[in-house]
């Protein structure tokens, strides 16, 4: 069955024909029939080199043999027990070994759930209610964090000057959220003794890829320590992606709590909250901060995560870095030759192509880039067998199984796509 027919059927039974908004793009999404290695096959018979990679979890690409075997074996032995079991202990130990700031972990089922629990835990630990987040950072569909700044105005305290990112978020839930601009050390002077937690994506991945200044992350650590607030790093994207110890290892800044997801589950649903023992021991049944879940620590996600984490090491990260470097340098050369102002932001195997003359360093500079040119690029690439995430504000990812040939093919198609965009007159050149 082809995508148009599936989309028509889906539209009457799934809101917007999809199960997550970014999957819906113009004129209609394609439906995937299978995925293997670096590629996905659409219901229309097209193979696409995949740089979306399910928005981050698939560092070894789609359906690697070792993962299929591990998960198949586990399913024969049970998919969910409702009791403790060995692989959750092993995965927790692997996380603790990989991330020095984490000495205990609670497994949940999504990054958003982990973020929601991080807020609750930080409030319980500190006895305070205010939380600070950063403009453009996303932490899952969590009411008090589903909010950004309405503009450049400073009046973003007590719910004033904020825009909820969803209808249905009650205004009183936002009155305790403060939203500050990313990469702006001066704005941190608002963080005081009323703040329970400062929560941040240490590398912003939800405005496209936006890199932090190391000094900014250091300043976050300092201010949290000085006012007694918890520093929470949301490493749902960067955890096990940037390095085995995440962005905190790369930048050398240690948070109090870490939120994980994506790669941790090896392609199966997962989220995790980890941190210092004295904070984590407040979680029930050890303490009285409530968290529970039928599928928490389910053996399929645990085994999948273990099989992936055990294969991650410096050699893997270095290979990923060089392959992605070659790809992104190629993009920069093609765009420069075409005279199209652009910025390619990259960290290891994560990257975003922005169409802008200015460095992209926060949400406002990301939003000022020409996302209509990105949409045209996305369309032209897809027509030639390359799949980037459809939104300018999502990151692209490389996997270990993207080959040199994939990279060369992608650069060839990218060049053709850029020519097509120029011919279409969508972009002004230098
Ligand atoms: C940084 C970050 N935090 C949290 C989440 C939410 O994770 P999940 O989709 O598993 O709820 C995401 C999702 O993309 C994310 O990028």
Q: What is the DSSP string of 154-204?
A: S--STTTTEEESSTT--HHHHTTEEEE-TT-SGGGGG--TTEEEEEE-SSB
Nearest CA to ligand 1 atom 3: 139
In this model, does residue 430 exceed pLDDT 70? no
How crowded is residue 222: how many other Cβ atoms within 10 Å of its Cβ? 14
**At CB < 8 A and 24+ separation, what contacts does 313-321 make?**
313/244, 314/244, 316/59, 316/400, 317/242, 317/243, 317/244, 317/348, 319/400, 320/59, 320/348, 320/349, 320/398, 320/399, 320/400, 321/348, 321/349
- Looking at the chain, the whole-number percentage of residues with pLDDT higher than 70 is 97
CA of 91 to the centre of ligand 1 (A): 20
pTM (two decimals): 0.97
Residue 386: DSSP 8-state: E
As a whole number of Å, the end-to-end CA separation of the chain is 45
In this model, does residue 234 exceed pLDDT 70? yes
pLDDT digits (tens, 9 = 90+) for 69-82: 999 999 999 999 99
Give the Cα separation of 175 and 178 in Å (integer): 8
C-alpha dihedral sign at 10, 14, 15, 21: negative
- What positions carry a catalytic annotation? 138, 234, 262
Closest CA to 114 of 277, 287, 258: 258
Give the Cα separation of 220 and 331 in Å (integer): 33
Place of tokens 């394609």: 30
- Looking at the chain, the whole-number percentage of residues with pLDDT higher than 90 is 93
In this model, does residue 159 exceed pLDDT 90? no
pLDDT band at residue 151 using 50, 70 and 90 as cut-offs:
confident
CA of 236 to the centre of ligand 1 (A): 6
In this model, does residue 428 exceed pLDDT 70? no
CA of 201 to the centre of ligand 1 (A): 10
Atom of ligand 1 at shortest distance to CA of 262?
10
Q: Which residue has the higher pLDDT, 427 or 222?
A: 222
Q: What is the pLDDT of residue 102?
A: 98
pLDDT digits (tens, 9 = 90+) for 6-50: 999 999 999 999 999 999 998 899 999 999 999 999 999 999 999
Q: What is the pLDDT of residue 156?
A: 62
How crowded is residue 283: how many other Cβ atoms within 10 Å of its Cβ? 20
Is residue 92 within a helix (H) or strand (E), and if so which, with residue range? helix 86-98
pLDDT band at residue 427 using 50, 70 and 90 as cut-offs:
confident
CA of 244 to the centre of ligand 1 (A): 18
Strand segments (E) across 293-392: 343-347, 350-354, 386-387
Q: What is the pLDDT of residue 27?
A: 87
pLDDT digits (tens, 9 = 90+) for 241-297: 999 999 999 999 999 999 999 999 999 999 999 999 999 999 999 999 999 999 999
Q: What is the pLDDT of residue 153?
A: 55
Q: What is the pLDDT of residue 188?
A: 97
pLDDT band at residue 424 using 50, 70 and 90 as cut-offs:
confident
Q: What is the pLDDT of residue 150?
A: 82
Average pLDDT value for residue range 151-168: 74
Atom of ligand 1 at shortest distance to CA of 137?
1
Task: Mention every residue, 6+ apart, whose C-beta is less than 8 A from residue 381.
Answer: 387, 388, 413, 414, 417
In this model, does residue 344 exceed pLDDT 90? yes
Q: For a ligand 1 pocket test, name from 19, 54, 56, 111 the mutation site with the most ligand atoms within 8 angstroms of its C-beta.
A: 111
How crowded is residue 129: how many other Cβ atoms within 10 Å of its Cβ? 16
Is 266 near ligand 1, meaning CB less than 6 Å away? Answer: no
Q: Look at residue 6 and give its three-state secondary structure.
A: helix
Q: Which domains does the chain have, with CATH numbers?
A: 31-59+313-424 (3.90.1150.10), 65-309 (3.40.640.10)
Give the Cα separation of 180 and 204 in Å (integer): 13
95 CA to centre of own chain: 18
pLDDT digits (tens, 9 = 90+) for 354-412: 999 999 999 999 999 999 999 999 999 999 999 999 999 999 999 999 999 999 999 99
Q: What is the pLDDT of residue 429?
A: 63
Give the Cα separation of 83 and 217 in Å (integer): 39
Task: Mention every residue, 6+ apart, whose C-beta is less than 8 A from residue 330.
Answer: 407, 410, 411, 414
pLDDT digits (tens, 9 = 90+) for 199-212: 999 999 999 999 99
Give the Cα separation of 221 and 230 in Å (integer): 9
pLDDT band at residue 426 using 50, 70 and 90 as cut-offs:
confident
Q: Report the mean per-residue pLDDT for the chain.
A: 96
Q: What is the pLDDT of residue 162?
A: 87
Q: What is the pLDDT of residue 160?
A: 67
Average pLDDT value for residue range 220-225: 98
Q: Which residue has the higher pLDDT, 1 or 254?
A: 254
Distances (CA, A) of 157 to 130, 223, 347, 386: 10, 18, 32, 43
Is 139 near ligand 1, meaning CB less than 6 Å away? Answer: yes
């Amino acid at each position: 069955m082809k995508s148009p027919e599936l989309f028509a059927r889906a539209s009457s039974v799934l809101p917007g024909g999809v199960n997550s908004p970014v999957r819906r793009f113009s004129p209609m999404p394609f439906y995937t029939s299978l995925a293997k290695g670096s590629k996905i096959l659409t219901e229309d018979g097209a193979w696409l080199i995949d740089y979306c990679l399910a928005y981050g979890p698939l560092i070894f690409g789609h359906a690697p043999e070792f993962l299929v075997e591990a998960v198949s074996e586990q399913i024969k032995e049970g998919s969910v027990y409702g009791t403790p079991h060995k692989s959750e202990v092993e995965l927790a130990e692997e996380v603790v070994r990989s991330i020095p700031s984490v000495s205990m972990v609670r497994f949940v089922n999504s990054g958003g759930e982990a973020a929601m629990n991080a807020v609750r835990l930080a409030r319980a630990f500190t006895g305070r209610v205010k939380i600070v987040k950063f403009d453009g950072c996303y932490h899952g569909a969590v009411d008090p964090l589903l909010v950004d700044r309405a503009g450049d105005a400073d009046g973003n305290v007590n719910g004033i000057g904020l825009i909820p990112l969803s209808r249905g978020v009650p205004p009183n839930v936002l009155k305790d959220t403060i939203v500050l601009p990313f990469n702006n050390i001066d704005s941190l002077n608002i963080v005081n003794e009323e703040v329970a937690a400062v929560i941040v994506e240490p590398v912003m991945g939800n405005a496209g890829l936006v890199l932090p200044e190391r000094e900014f992350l250091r300043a976050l650590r300092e201010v949290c320590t000085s006012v007694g607030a918890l520093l929470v790093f949301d490493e749902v994207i960067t955890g096990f992606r940037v390095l085995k110890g995440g962005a905190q290892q790369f930048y050398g800044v240690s948070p109090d709590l870490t939120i994980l997801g994506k790669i941790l589950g090896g392609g199966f649903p997962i989220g995790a909250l980890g941190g210092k023992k004295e904070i984590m021991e407040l979680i029930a049944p050890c303490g009285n901060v409530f968290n529970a879940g039928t599928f928490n620590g389910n053996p399929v996600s645990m085994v999948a995560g273990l099989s992936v984490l055990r294969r991650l090491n410096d050699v893997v990260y270095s290979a990923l870095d060089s392959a992605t470097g070659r790809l992104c340098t190629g993009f920069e050369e093609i765009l420069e030759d075409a005279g199209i102002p652009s910025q390619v932001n990259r960290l290891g195997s994560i990257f975003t192509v922005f169409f802008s003359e200015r460095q992209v360093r926060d949400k406002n500079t990301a939003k000022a880039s020409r996302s209509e040119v990105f949409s045209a690029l996305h369309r032209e690439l897809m027509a030639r067998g390359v799949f980037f995430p459809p939104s300018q504000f999502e990151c692209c990812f490389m996997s270990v199984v993207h080959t040199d040939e994939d990279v060369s093919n992608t650069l060839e198609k990218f060049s053709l796509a850029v020519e097509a965009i120029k011919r279409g007159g969508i972009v002004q050149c230098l």
